[in-house]
Chains A and B, each alone.
Chain A
Amino acid sequence: MANWVYSGLRIGVKSTHYPRAAEETPGVSPGLPMGRPLRSGELGEVVDRCPTGALKRGEQRIVVDHRRCVHCFQCVRGTPDPLRWQEGYEWARRATPGEAPASAALGEPLAAPFSRSLHVRVVDAGDCGACLREVKQLSNPYYNLHRLGFFITPTPRQADVLLVVGPGSDQMRSALEKAYAAMPAPRRVLAVGACALSGGVFGPSFMCSDGVGSIVPVDVEVPGHPPPPLAILHGLLVLAGRAKEMSTGETRP
């Protein structure tokens, strides 16, 4: 009979110190491209290399819309004027109000009683499996979301946060709407991954939305393709009022 208790204890504590301290182990995050000023004489041809329109020419600058970045690395590989890449993972931002239903609470973190007890309902609206896998990693000893008071709940009835991944495939639309409708107030929606924020390489089309924000009101967005577990954790911390959203240093066009 295997001694699971012993083999577990032998491994010891592996949890990251984040959010108390930054996690700097290599490989915890793919990073994101950074905008930069246009160099003198540069036409910004690197902008045309982006297949999803995440790069735009602003005022003398190359501007990055992180919601559209699908990590193809075309802006850093095989080009004479590559963009710089930022390491890190604290990317969560409030969703741009845009056409979301008018709601005073949209994007506001949940009130204090929820900050150390957040229950999350995860809904897959057509993801490729990578975002879902990163969400699953949150329960592994390295990230251990339970130590922060965050829990995955099996029912929307007991959920504070609806975590949505995927580009909003049409045949998941009504299931997603029902899951949101079943949540009692106060509730928040966390859209995770480029597909959920912009449709990624799939949407908009007759089968996919241009972001799940067109199906449920999104409070906080986490870009990435997929966002690493630490980025998703940051998104939850923002909703719990325990972390600041990404600074607006990176403007969106």
Chain B
Amino acid sequence: MEARTATARVPQEYFEHIDVLQEGQRSRCEIRSRAGQLPELCRWVRKRGFVFVGLIVEQEPEQWLLRYVFYPSRREGDEGEASWVHVISSQPLPQTTFPSTLEVIPGIDWHEREAEDLFELKFEGHPKLGDFVLHDDAWQEGLAPMRKEFDAHRPIGHRTADPNWRPQRIVHAAGAFAMPIGPIYSGVAESAHFILETVGEDVIRALPRFFYKHRAVEKIAEGRWPEEVMLLAERFNGISAFAHGLACAQALEAIGNIDVPPRAEALRAWLAELERLRHHVGLIHDICESTALTVAASQAAMLEEELLRLCGSLTGHRYLFGLIACGGLTRDFKEAELKSAVERAREVLERLSRLESNLIRTGSFLDRLEEVGIVTEKEARAYGLVGPIARASGLARDLRRVQPYLNYAQYAFDVPTESEGDGYARLRVLFAEARAATGIIGQALDRLPQGPVRTERVPGGPGAALGWAEAPLGAAFHWVRLDDEGRVSRYRIIPPSFVNWHAFYLAAEAFAFQDFPIILASFGLSVSENDR
């Protein structure tokens, strides 16, 4: 829907003023909410079909600036340039209490909890603040590390973890047992903690505790140059390094109004899809491993290794580090190398398809996935889920379609969607997306333009912009603000795993204890991506 039309219809009582700003090639509509009207304004925006992305908190010299980001959900045949909407709420610095918008946007839950922990802001009406990013048993209250006054490099005297700390128990019933899992798992797995409150075999409550892997990426980015922050973007989640690097680069390019050469755009899409293929084969391996179908897991692991070797031999790095830069790519590729890579990827896909057909004929494997770990479409919509998980629950959102970037609009590809929302649906989506990704890299090669792969320009500054990409796990957003010198003054990452972990408990609860590792694997979410 058209920005002008939308803003012309916003009820007067909700806003103080509206600005339409240019952000590179795109425009965004900033609606400054009137005091006390923030939840109503957000409710109005959501009702108009805008999709909530996340909350960006910024500390300016005199005021707090809270930015609620929405993008328009496109329907087929929508005319006109549809602008993003940023609802802005601001207050002078000493006033740190804001109204919670949890009733209006369920997906705001973790954003508000994170802002409370890291900025010491209070959200009135939120039922559970505290012990989220900064664990209560490890950190003193009132630390607020994201405030400008906090020096990230001043060592904090080490505190002894409180030995009397216990997690909150919810289930009080005869035979109720709280099983703690993690942060260190029994196999090779990322560090995260769950308390499974069980009565017998049934998991009544699954309470996650994340941020054991918190490295304060948003904080340490402040004061760094854009090239250094690009390194953080690639490395905070190495298994989708290229996608996050891409989102960050696009934010910087929007700030500096930098045109990326056509060959670089096409190669970026090519590399992003290669990463998606490799990533999904890895998830397929994890699902097979979780069900102890060892032969299938080995076969999938071999395919993942072959794709890693393909990435390594073509680009110099198995996980595609060091390829993306502001303005394009750091290197080019020869036609013959790309052609050979596409052939090898197609060959891997053929074997992947044979693996798939064997898996769907293995009843004991399907039994562990079918009708297990269900997320309904209603839940997916309410929580604003993204990525393959959302698509497996019927929510057909893919940024490459609804908010195209690079040259994706030129390629024909499926956005596979299923409706059951169970583990099997998620597995089918992974196979289908692997197929679609291989299709795109073939098309991209056929139409690869000639020319340079980089525009040598710095983003400059001051300015702020949002960059995004459909990472393998879903929509990833990077907000970058540069100061007068061109250094980063705010870096906010809204990763797909942060959004999706929020809804994980819906799938885990009401199933058996033994299903938990399989539901975990069928979600395939990343802890490092969430924790940042």
A interface residues, Cβ below 8 angstroms from B: 1-5, 7-8, 11, 14, 25-31, 51, 70-74, 77-78, 122-137, 139-143, 152, 154-155, 166-167, 169-175, 179, 200-208, 225-226, 228
Contacts and interface: CB of A to CB of B under 8 A. Distances in A.
B214 interface: yes
5 contacts: A77-B322, A140-B304, A172-B183, A175-B212, A208-B216
A28 B309 contact: yes
Given A171-B212, A172-B212, A228-B318, A128 B362 contact: no
Q: Looking at A141, A166, A205, which has the most chain B CB atoms within 10 Å of its CB?
A: A205
Contacts of B312: 26-30, 228
A5 B191 contact: no
Interface in B36-80: none
A180 to B, nearest CB: 11
B313 interface: yes
A7 to B, nearest CB: 6
Given A141-B301, A202-B215, A174 B153 contact: no
Nearest to B215: A202
A128 B358 contact: no
A138 to B, nearest CB: 9
Contact of A174 (B161, B214, B228): B161
B295 A204 contact: no
Given A133-B239, A133-B282, A140-B302, A206 B318 contact: no
A126 to B, nearest CB: 4
Contact of A171 (B135, B302, B313): B135
Given A11-B299, A201-B232, A30 B317 contact: yes
B241 A171 contact: no
Contact of A2 (B156, B220, B311, B361): B361
Contact of A137 (B151, B228, B308): B308
Given A77-B330, A129-B528, A152-B188, A137 B231 contact: no
B11 interface: no
Interface in B281-328: 282, 293, 295-296, 298-299, 301-302, 304-305, 308-314, 316-319, 321-322
A207 B237 CA distance: 17
Contacts of B214: 126, 169-171, 207
Given A27-B308, A124-B190, A206-B216, A72 B232 contact: no
A43 B134 CA distance: 46
Q: Which 3 A-B pairs have the closest CB atoms?
A: A130-B238, A27-B309, A27-B312
B321 A140 contact: no
Contacts of A129: 190, 237-239, 526-529
Contacts of B531: 126, 169
Given A4-B362, A206-B156, A137 B321 contact: no
B302 A170 contact: no
Contacts of A72: 231, 321-322
Given A124-B190, A125-B191, A206 B154 contact: yes
B308 to A, nearest CB: 7
B17 interface: no
Nearest to B300: A140
Nearest to B192: A124
Nearest to A229: B305
Q: Looking at A122, A129, A154, which has the most chain B CB atoms within 10 Å of its CB?
A: A129
A22 to B, nearest CB: 15
Interface of A is mostly: loop
A125 B214 CA distance: 10
Contacts, number: 214
Nearest to B236: A128
A201 B322 CA distance: 13
Given A126-B213, A133-B282, A71 B305 contact: no
Contact of B235 (A29, A128, A143): A128
B191 A175 contact: yes
A197 B527 CA distance: 21
A71 B317 contact: yes
B302 A1 contact: no
Given A30-B312, A171-B212, A225 B154 contact: no
A223 to B, nearest CB: 14
Given A4-B362, A208-B216, A132 B228 contact: no
A177 to B, nearest CB: 10
Nearest to A29: B312
A80 to B, nearest CB: 15
Contact of B238 (A25, A26, A205, A226): A226
A30 B320 CA distance: 10
A225 B527 CA distance: 18
Interface in B271-288: 282
Contacts of B316: 30-31, 73
Contacts of B154: 206
B260 to A, nearest CB: 16
A8 B295 contact: yes
Nearest to B310: A27
B105 interface: no
Contacts of B310: 27
A193 B316 CA distance: 17
Contact of A4 (B301, B358, B363): B358
B132 to A, nearest CB: 12
Contacts of A141: 298, 301-302
A44 to B, nearest CB: 20
B331 interface: yes
A46 B330 CA distance: 16
Given A30-B312, A124-B191, A172-B213, A73 B330 contact: yes
B238 A142 contact: no
Q: Looking at B152, B156, B316, B357, which has the most chain A CB atoms within 10 Å of its CB?
A: B316
A174 B137 CA distance: 11
B295 A4 contact: yes
Given A2-B359, A29-B312, A200 B235 contact: yes
Given A2-B359, A128-B236, A172-B212, A137 B304 contact: yes
B215 A167 contact: yes
Contacts of B184: 123-124, 175, 179
B41 to A, nearest CB: 35
A206 B218 CA distance: 13
Contacts of A136: 188, 301
A8 B294 CA distance: 10
A175 B301 CA distance: 29
Contact of A124 (B152, B189, B313, B321): B189
Interface string B189-224: 111000000000000000000011111110110000
A7 B191 contact: no
B227 interface: yes
